Every structure is written in structure tokens, then in C-alpha cells.
């Protein structure tokens, strides 16, 4: 389907957090290329990352959400796109960054701008309690879906806490806010499918859930950037929550099989309960804005393999 036109985001002062990460970095660059004054926030422990952003027209600013170090948050912002996240084992640190830090950021940004028209908080469909392969709407039950996944014991709970604090702060301060629950993001050079391709190359089995297929709604970086003006139309007080993903339901088994066809590698799968179960968000609220994704999942997977591992492609 084709997206109904919504005015692009242009000529705005925008803060994008988490710009050293996979999702926020390409998004900040795309917004800068579209004629916005973009500030990219992170801890910037790597000076090369700061320089690379500056070269691409994104002005680096240092913040540390764990310490509520927000002195460099710019004044007179029009939009905040908050994508910074901590995926850590420590519950106190996860809560400090993902929950308390998100509320602190909104408080500071609002205090320094009387024209803040939209605060997008990037949440996750990790907040849902998986329910077989049913499509989950924004009001469905929340749960601890990511605890079984190695290395992610705090993720779901801290993201739920973040939604509560962001929603409360938005209502208290009157900041138009949208809480966007992102499903599976990926790009030409990053994402969960690329990790699976590495496992396939090594001859290692790809973990999938015992309740197959392990399905999601992956969304390509191009469509993440394209969706921003549509998501911002939902910014309101109280905050609006919306599922954020691609139009097609695709499983890990599907995309690994497709990568096998492109490379000649044969995927093997390891069914387990120690991974994330299928989470298929209902996208009706997102689609009601007029937005639909343009990068089909097979095109996206081919682009990923071509850009990241062209040496693995087979002829044809």
C-alpha cells in the first residue's frame, strides 16, 4: 500500500537521542539531510562516532541519562525523538536510564523550549505479554516477554516503567507525546537478521521459539525515517501509544530461509523457550495516520545481505 501524504519534517530543531545506536543514528542523519537542524545526543565515549555524526550534519551533544547529566540539551527545540536505551543486566541502572532518564529528559527539554510540539518516546513491543500468534493492540496485556532472552532480563520491565513515567510527565507538563512501540528494526548494515546470517555462516543453529513460527513485523530503516511525520501527528496530551512496525508479518524462519536462498547457506533452527516468543503488533492505529511501509521484507533482506556481506551472495 502507498502512504497517504503527510507533510515531511523540515526546518525544525530536533533532538535525537541514542545516536550511536543502530536505529537513531541513521534517523538523525536522514532528518539532517532533509533540512532540519538536528542535535544528536549520546554519551560519546568514542570520539570517532562524534566526528562521523558532525561530518553528516548532525550536531553532537553529550548526555548521560543514568546520571541525569542533561546540561547540553539544546534550548528552543521543536521536536524530541527519544530512542536512547540501556540493555543491561542491572535493574537499578535499567530503571535509571530507561525510565527515570526518559522523564528527566522531557522535563529538561520542556523547560528550555516553549515551542516543543512533539516528544516521541521509542518504546518496544517487548512490553507485551505474548499471546500465541494473535495480533496485539495497544491496550492488550503487558508482560515480561524478554526475560527468557539471554542478556535482556531488565528490558521489558524497564520499558514498561518508562512508558508510565513518560506518560505521567507528559500529562503533568502538557507536552504532546507519542509512545511508539517499535517491533523489529533493521537496516542495510545492521539488525537481528544480520546476526542470524552470522550464525548461518558459522554453521550454528538459529534460536527460534518452540511455538513456531517466531513471527514479528520487521521495519526497515528507510521506513522508520519515513514514518516519523506520521507518528508525530499522534503526539497528544495525555500521550498516545501506537504500535510501530512494518506492514508484513515475517518470522525468523522466513528471513533465514530467504537469506539461505540468497547465499547458498542452509539455515538450521534450534527451538527453545529461552528466546522471545512471537510478538505480532496490530498496526491499525499507525495505518490510520496514512502510513504504510514501502520496503518489502524480501527487498530489505536482499539489501542487507548485499550491503553487509556481498561476498556471500550467489549468482542470480
Question: What confidence tens digit (pLDDT) does each residue in 46-55 have?
Answer: 889 999 999 9
E strand or H helix at 108? helix 101-111
What CA–CA distance (Å, rounded) separates 239 from 138? 12
Question: For residue 71, what pLDDT band results from cuts at 50, 70 and 90?
Answer: very high
Instruction: Give the residue-averaged pLDDT of 253-282.
Output: 97
- Residue reference for cell 536510564: 97
Q: Has residue 316 got a pLDDT over 80?
A: no
Q: At what angle do helices 252-263 and 192-202 cross, to 10 degrees?
A: 60
Helices (H) and strands (E) in the chain, counts: 10, 15
Do β-strands 135-136 and 219-220 pair in parallel, antiparallel, or remain unpaired? unpaired
Question: How much is the pLDDT for 2?
Answer: 67
The 10s digit of each residue's pLDDT in 168-209 is 999 999 999 999 999 999 999 999 999 999 999 999 999 999
What CA–CA distance (Å, rounded) separates 248 from 12? 31
Q: Has residue 219 got a pLDDT over 90?
A: yes
What CA–CA distance (Å, rounded) separates 129 from 253? 21
Its pTM stands at 0.97
Residues 6+ apart with CB under 8 A from 116: 77, 78, 79, 80, 109, 110, 175, 176
**Greatest CA separation for the chain:** 59
Domain boundaries, the chain: 13-187+217-247+281-289
Q: Has residue 131 got a pLDDT over 90?
A: yes
**Cβ–Cβ < 8 Å for 119, 52:** no
Q: Rounded mean pLDDT of the chain?
A: 97
What CA–CA distance (Å, rounded) separates 239 from 178? 5
Instruction: Give the residue-averaged pLDDT of 208-215.
Output: 98
Residue 3 or 100, more confident? 100
Q: Has residue 60 got a pLDDT over 80?
A: yes
What CA–CA distance (Å, rounded) separates 184 from 143? 18
**Cβ–Cβ < 8 Å for 295, 223:** yes
Q: Has residue 151 got a pLDDT over 90?
A: no
Q: What whole-number percentage of the chain has pLDDT above 70?
A: 99
Q: Has residue 315 got a pLDDT over 80?
A: no
**Main-chain dihedrals φ then ψ at residue 135, nearest 5 degrees:** -75, 130
The 10s digit of each residue's pLDDT in 7-39 is 999 999 999 999 999 999 999 999 999 999 999
Question: How much is the pLDDT for 246?
Answer: 98
Question: How much is the pLDDT for 266?
Answer: 96
Q: Has residue 248 got a pLDDT over 90?
A: yes
What CA–CA distance (Å, rounded) separates 46 from 26? 17
Instruction: Give the residue-averaged pLDDT of 223-248.
Output: 98
Question: How much is the pLDDT for 33?
Answer: 97
Homologous superfamily assigned to 13-187+217-247+281-289: NAD(P)-binding Rossmann-like Domain (3.40.50.720)
251 SS3 class: strand
Question: How much is the pLDDT for 293?
Answer: 98
Q: Has residue 279 got a pLDDT over 80?
A: yes
Q: Has residue 3 got a pLDDT over 80?
A: no
Amino acid at each position: 500500500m502507498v502512504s497517504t501524504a503527510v507533510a515531511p519534517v523540515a526546518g525544525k530543531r530536533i533532538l535525537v537521542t541514542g545516536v550511536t545506536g543502530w536505529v537513531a543514528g541513521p534517523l538523525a542523519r536522514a532528518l539532517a539531510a532533509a533540512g532540519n537542524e538536528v542535535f544528536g545526543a549520546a554519551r560519546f565515549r568514542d570520539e570517532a562516532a562524534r566526528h562521523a555524526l558532525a561530518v553528516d550534519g548532525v550536531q553532537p551533544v553529550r548526555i548521560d541519562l543514568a546520571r541525569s547529566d542533561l546540561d547540553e540539551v539544546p534550548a528552543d527545540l521543536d521536536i524530541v525523538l527519544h530512542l536512547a536505551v540501556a540493555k543491561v543486566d542491572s535493574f537499578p541502572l535499567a530503571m535509571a536510564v530507561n525510565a527515570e532518564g526518559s522523564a528527566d529528559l522531557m522535563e529538561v527539554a520542556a523547560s528550555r523550549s516553549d515551542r516543543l510540539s512533539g516528544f516521541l518516546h521509542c518504546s518496544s513491543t517487548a512490553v507485551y505479554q505474548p499471546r500465541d500468534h494473535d495480533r496485539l493492540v495497544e491496550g492488550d496485556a503487558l508482560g515480561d516477554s524478554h526475560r527468557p532472552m539471554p542478556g535482556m532480563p531488565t528490558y521489558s520491565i524497564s520499558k514498561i516503567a518508562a512508558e508510565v513515567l513518560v506518560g505521567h510527565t507528559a500529562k503533568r507538563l502538557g507536552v504532546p507525546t507519542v509512545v511508539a512501540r517499535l517491533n523489529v528494526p533493521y537496516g542495510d548494515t545492521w539488525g537481528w537478521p544480520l546476526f542470524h546470517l552470522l550464525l548461518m555462516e558459522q554453521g550454528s543453529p538459529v534460536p527460534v521459539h518452540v511455538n513456531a513460527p517466531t513471527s514479528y513485523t520487521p521495519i526497515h530503516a528507510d521506513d522508520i525515517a519515513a514514518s516519523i511525520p506520521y507518528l508525530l501527528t499522534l503526539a497528544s496530551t495525555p500521550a498516545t501509544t501506537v504500535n510501530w512496525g512494518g506492514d508484513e508479518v515475517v518470522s525468523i524462519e522466513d528471513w533465514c530461509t530467504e537469506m539461505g536462498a540468497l547465499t547458498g547457506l542452509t539455515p538450521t533452527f534450534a527451538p527453545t523457550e529461552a528466546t522471545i516468543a512471537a510478538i505480532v503488533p496490530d498496526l491499525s492505529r499507525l495505518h490510520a495516520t496514512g502510513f504504510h511501509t514501502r520496503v518489502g521484507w524480501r527487498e530489505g533482506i536482499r539489501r542487507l545481505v548485499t550491503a553487509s556481506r556481498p561476498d556471500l551472495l550467489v549468482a542470480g
